[in-house]
Structure 1
Amino acid sequence: MEETISFRGLEKKFGEKHAVKPLTAEWRRGEVTALLGPNGAGKSTLVSMLLGLRRPTAGSVSAFGMEPGSRPFRERVGALLQEAKPADGLRVRETLELFRALYPRPLTLARLLSIAGLEREASRTATSLSGGQRRRLAFALSMAGDPDLLVLDEPTVGMDIESRDRFWDTIRALSASGKTVLLTTHHLEEADAVADRVVVIADGQVLADGAPATLKTSASLRSVVFDAPEGAQAADWSSLPGVERVERQGGRVRLYASDTDAVLLALVRGGRGERNIEVREPSLEEAFRALTAKGGEGA
């Protein structure tokens, strides 16, 4: 698979503080990569260097073998940043036409209105749109040049559920057509459902990089969940084979274990009366919490 983004010893410091610690990685064409991390982790700094908005302290970054900020680079890259705002006084149609004029092979106006789901709002001023509609318009603007690489910073902020579902359907279709997508999001369940690759960053350092399923199984534990019998205490299960942590919410108990098969066997043999037993795979949120907690301990 063709390399799209390449980082070679990329580093950014502000004074003595490392915003991004030396990073070497390659991200491939057609992948949807989710960049996850707590606030202040270095995500926005990394994105800004990729787009040529900040210069690295050391190392280099390139996309399609081109330096960020060059004209050929800009023609192949679309970006949606958190602070995107519509132009005052322009209608939706005029705003899209203005951006289309910047590119040699833009998408049609009809296609961009469809991407934004704003066909009925084409004659309205952009500033009269709701927050979610403005965000959808900003996404369409990032698509104006039919880019090969999309960089999206918290793209679904302000969108309602229907708009978010439509947005992610569009991202899946773009990826299937060979487009490369790099996004940051705080909606971990969405990243889990859409991303081919997840990169977790904290304190300017990459803690994990891989497929969501790989990160979940390597960073967190499977669990056994059940309804507890009356009068039972957490200590009744903490000594079961493989159990590393016990959580209880009301009458529902969750056992995090390195060997859920052994736990199931022990529950059946124990005869305590646990009911509605199920095994759960770790979520991306649980893996994220585990990874960033470990990163904080090592900082």
Structure 2
Amino acid sequence: MPPHAIDISGLTVRHRDVLAVDGLDLRIGQGETVALLGPNGAGKSSTVSAVLGLVRPAAGSVRVLDQVPAAAVAAGCVGVMLQHGGLPGEARVGEVLHLVRRSYDDPWPLDDLVTTTGIGGLLGRDVDALSGGQRQRVLLALALAGQPPLLLLDEPTSAMDVEGRRAFWATMRGLAARGTTVVFATHHLEEADAVADRVVVMAAGRLVADGPSAAIRAAVAGRTVRFTAPDGAFDRVPGVTGVDRLGGTVALTTADVEATLRALLADGVPLTDLEVRGASLEDAVLSLTTPGALR
């Protein structure tokens, strides 16, 4: 049986008096695409830092492909794309990529790497002249230069437009199909919902949910009935537990969608642009990470 890509047991990380990670157990198999979600301060970055060997745990252990983190990183087993990753100034993209590839015994073939990451038109450009989205694609190319079996991404699409994000995640799906393990932290929950095989939710340094996105969403009770109505009070409609209004659009959170719809129709409410949906991944994560849910 192959080793886990990441094997975390009882991980505790402290930053002075702050408990950042609290006894975390987490195992990620090779070839999985995993979204690491949670609010700011949940412990995501500290967990990633422990996987990279950048912090010393107060307790517990971390293994990366059956190695200690420092050894796995030194062996080129881990590619990293951090949110605030830097590039050397006064250099061209091609020069930086050439320098990084030379540090590996078996680098990713240049033509394939350039095509995979979509930087073909950037090799001759000064790194200081790159847009935010172009910079992210170059950082991805550098992270992949050594053909790592494990890729760690921290808010990888934060500077990208919609088209850039779509292209980026198409690349990630291609890497996953090749067997690369992809672990990413993001605040774009619709991306996590669409891309990840598995969603790991953290809050207050602890794991609060772990599973497929559909299972995480299904664990949250209630559905939303959305429609257009010029006016009206809907808080006493059967089943309704919450009412939101934005302009002429009404969104009713309900524990009994059938009872709610029957009552609205019986009252003659014109349900223009009617939409009924279950909880989104964002709804689920907010529900799981509110202070009351963590007690």
**Structure 1: runs of 5 or more not aligned:** none
Inter-CA distance 98–182: structure 2 relative to 1 (3 Å threshold): same
Count residues with an aligned counterpart.
294
Q: Deviations over 1:44-72 (max 9, x none)?
A: 11100001111111001112111101057
Q: Distance in 2 between matches of 1:142 and 1:72?
A: 11
Q: Which residue of 2 aligns with 1:137?
A: 138
Work out the CA distance in 2 between the residues paired with 1:272 and 1:38: 38
List runs of 5+ in structure 2 lacking aligned partners: none
Q: Flag as ranges the 4+ runs of structure 1 deviating above 6 A.
A: none
The match for 1:280 among 277, 280, 292 is 277
Equivalent positions of 1:81-160 (< 5 A) are: 81-160=82-161
Task: Point out the more displaced range, 218-227 or 208-217.
Answer: 218-227
Query: CA offset at residue 24 of structure 1?
Result: 0.9
Residue among 238, 250, 254 paired with 2:251: 254
Report the Cα offset of residue 202 of structure 1: 1.9
Q: Alpha-carbon deviations, 1:120-176, whole Å to 9, x = none? A: 221223233222212211110000011111000111122222222111000011112
CA distance in 1 between counterparts of 2:185 and 2:197 reads 13
Distance 2:157 2:137 in 1: 8
Looking at structure 1, the residues matched to 231 and 154 of structure 2 have their Cα atoms a distance apart, in angstroms, of 49
Match of 1:200 in 2: 201
The CA deviation string for residues 175-228 of structure 1, in whole angstroms up to 9 with x for no partner, is 122111111111111111111111121221222111111111213521112223
- What's the counterpart of residue 22 of structure 2? 21
Distance 1:132 1:272, change over 3 A: closer
RMSD over aligned Cα, in angstroms?
2.1
Q: Quick check: 2:35–2:199 contact (8 Å CA) kept in 1?
A: yes
Contact 1:188/1:284 (8 A) holds in 2: yes
- Residues 72, 121 of structure 1: alpha-carbon distance in 2 compared, 3 angstrom cutoff: closer
Secondary structure of 1:219's counterpart equals coil
* Secondary structure in structure 2 of the residue aligned to 1:285: helix
Tell me the TM-score normalized by structure 2: 0.92
User: CA–CA distance in 2 between the matches of 1:122 and 1:276?
Assistant: 48
Which residue matches 2:264?
A: 267
| Counterpart secondary structure, 2:286 | helix
Change in Cα spacing, 1:28 to 1:273, as seen in structure 2 (3 Å) is same
Q: Report if aligned partners of 1:63, 1:73 keep a CA contact under 8 Å in 2.
A: no
SS at match of 1:152: strand
Distance of aligned partners of 1:17 and 1:231 in 2 relative to their CA distance in 1, 3 Å threshold: closer
Q: Structure 1 counterpart of 2:288, which letter?
A: L
Query: TM-score under structure 1 normalisation?
Result: 0.90
Distance 2:196 2:162 in 1: 18
- Aligned residue identity for 1:38: P
Find the aligned partners of 2:85 and 2:199 in 1 and give their Cα distance.
24
**Is the 1:75–1:103 Cα contact (8 Å) retained in structure 2?**
yes
Contact 2:72 2:78 in 1 (8 A): no
- 2:240: which partner in 1? 243
